[in-house]
Chains A and B, each alone.
Chain A
Amino acid sequence: MSTGLVDNWLNVDTFGPIYPFVGTEVFLTIAGLIFWFGWHVWQHQKESAEFEADMENIKKQGGPGKVLEAESSREMKDSVG
């Protein structure tokens, strides 16, 4: 019993495809396309959530100006040890 068309290598000179489950290629293609497209959808949702969180973070800190100020003072602190 084998998941592919190979159960020995004696006739390798006559072999065609040797991956498992030959005959499922169309199904694999559909599964692959769903995986790819689903990734884009999921990533887009995560990105939107991330940007919302970023905006919230910026607002909480008093706006972009305050964030940049805080950052430069942190850098200053770093540079003076």
Chain B
Amino acid sequence: MDNELTALGIIFTEFYYWVTVVFMFLIHVGFCVYEVGASRYKHHTHTLMKNTMVIPLVTVTFFFFGWWIYFAFVNGPWLIGPLVDAPFATPWSELMGTHMGNAAIQDTLTVDDTAFWARINGVFWAAFLLFSWTAASIVSGAVIERIRPSAFWTLAVIIGSFTWIIDASWGWSWNGWMVQKLGYHDAYASGVIHAIAGGFALGVLVVLGPRIGKFRADGTPRNINPHNPWLVTIGLFLIYTGFWGFYVACNIPIIDVYGSAMLDVADKTFFSATNIYLQPTTLSAITFNFLMSLSGGLMVAYLISDGDAFWTYSGGLAGVIGASSGNDLYHPIQAMLIGGGGAFLAYKMHFWVENKFKIDDAVGAVAVHGYAGFYGVVMAGFMLWGYPSSPFEGYAPITPWGNFLGALIMFFVLGFFPALIASKILNSMGKLRIPREIEMVGLDINHESLRAMEAEEVAQAIREEAAASSS
């Protein structure tokens, strides 16, 4: 890079994504804190480790194949075209390591690819990777206290490094087939992260079954309250904070929207931030809308849950998720009202599904992420009806039916069904659920027994010491 302005643009973009990644780390911190707060003490260590180990397992698999899938699967593949070459995203690509952007060794790389991806690959990869952790982490909360950790980690890799990134390739990239053919619009991932993760969690829950004691003999549910509600609320606050980073990571910070053969207008230049579809938006707009949709969600959830802390906080999250699809373009008051609708739907649907189908979603993840995410995508289809879905010529416009079909693909095709099939396979091998006796006494029984023995030994030593001092 020998041009100062080009260098500044590229290194600013590199730094921009890096900052978002650090912010998004808080989502995972929040989920871990939240789950420990929601679980009972006899399951704490396993609950914490179950979600913590998502970090390395999804990270390495996202390096090995997730990142490549994002670029290679934009056509399906074979739905509207073949597998696409992505030589900069294979795990053996030299551009996945430290690189100065010049003389490429591997002959599959072009000069432009090499210069661009040498700087952006790691931070862009990490921004997507943090979404992958989130997708897996959403599922983690729903299944606490009875899933085998090994089964969960297999499922985490399936959603974190496989199905979610297929949906991103299809509906959350500038050239995905869903954008081209359906006009699918989901700027801040109501569907591509939340609906798919909620659908996936539901697929697992159907096979996994409820926690022991969740339902009475007559089928009515018991409330298993969070072990520590304050920890749950701190966790949700951390998730809100990380969500800021997530929003910012969904944008491309600076691009000439008349460049790169997007808008074919001669002699024009217009620099702006864009969403992932390369449509112009501003950080300012999404900041308005993030906060207004959060507020709408909190206000509605507070009222309908009679001020219940757990559901008020969750409703705030459902508010943001419900408006996220169109939060690049909505007016802030629209975002607030749509967010309120997301919280209302999540709350009502959670209890309806729990009662009707005896689904034990321990943290309301299916409702907050799945149903609110689905609703968010559908709402954007109506609200943004007729908008172009892309700056490129020939793409379908945004429509209610395009986004509705997209929501079905996210929730069911890539979320619910893959989880159902994988869970059934694991279940048939006896590898999905922990043994009943262990569930009753707690996953941490050996840790707890050892801890009790050690505490008793220390107490005994102190008693002996005290007796010796008194005599």
Contacts and interface: CB of A to CB of B under 8 A. Distances in A.
Contacts of B435: 51, 54-55
B446 interface: yes
B452 A74 contact: yes
Residue of B60, B100, B434 contacting most chain A CB atoms (<10 Å): B100
Interface in B323-349: none
B148 interface: yes
Contact of A16 (B42, B57, B104, B446): B104
Contacts of A7: none
A30 B448 CA distance: 40
Given A57-B446, A64-B440, A17 B149 contact: no
Contacts of B104: 16
B103 A36 contact: no
A57 B449 CA distance: 9
B438 interface: yes
A64 B114 CA distance: 61
Given A43-B150, A64-B437, A14 B102 contact: yes
Contact of B148 (A12, A47, A63): A47
A35 B60 CA distance: 10
Contacts of A55: 435, 437-438
A81 to B, nearest CB: 11
Given A28-B92, A29-B91, A54 B445 contact: yes
B103 A67 contact: no
B64 A36 contact: yes
A10 interface: no
Contact of B438 (A19, A40, A54, A71): A54
A35 B96 CA distance: 18
Interface residues of A, number: 36
B99 interface: yes
B441 interface: yes
A22 B440 CA distance: 53
B93 interface: yes
Nearest to A33: B64
A14 B440 contact: no
A18 B100 contact: yes
Contacts of B437: 54-55, 58, 63-64
B154 interface: yes
A17 B64 contact: no
B102 A13 contact: yes
Contacts of B153: 40, 43
A12 B91 contact: no
A23 B441 CA distance: 53
B97 A17 contact: yes
A15 B100 contact: yes
Contacts of A44: 150, 431
A22 B104 CA distance: 11
A36 B154 CA distance: 12
B306 interface: no
Nearest to A17: B94
A58 B438 contact: yes
B105 interface: yes
A15 B149 contact: no
A1 to B, nearest CB: 19
A62 to B, nearest CB: 11
Contacts of A63: 437
29 contacts: A13-B100, A16-B94, A16-B99, A16-B104, A16-B105, A17-B97, A17-B100, A17-B105, A19-B97, A22-B94, A23-B105, A25-B96, A25-B97, A29-B64, A29-B92, A32-B64, A32-B91, A35-B60, A36-B60, A40-B153, A44-B431, A47-B148, A54-B437, A54-B445, A57-B449, A58-B441, A64-B437, A67-B441, A68-B441
Interface of B: 2, 42, 57, 60-61, 63-64, 91-94, 96-105, 114, 148-150, 153-154, 431, 434-435, 437-438, 440-441, 445-446, 448-449, 452
Interface of A: 12-19, 22-23, 25-26, 28-29, 32-33, 35-36, 39-40, 43-44, 47, 50-51, 53-55, 57-58, 63-64, 67-68, 71, 74
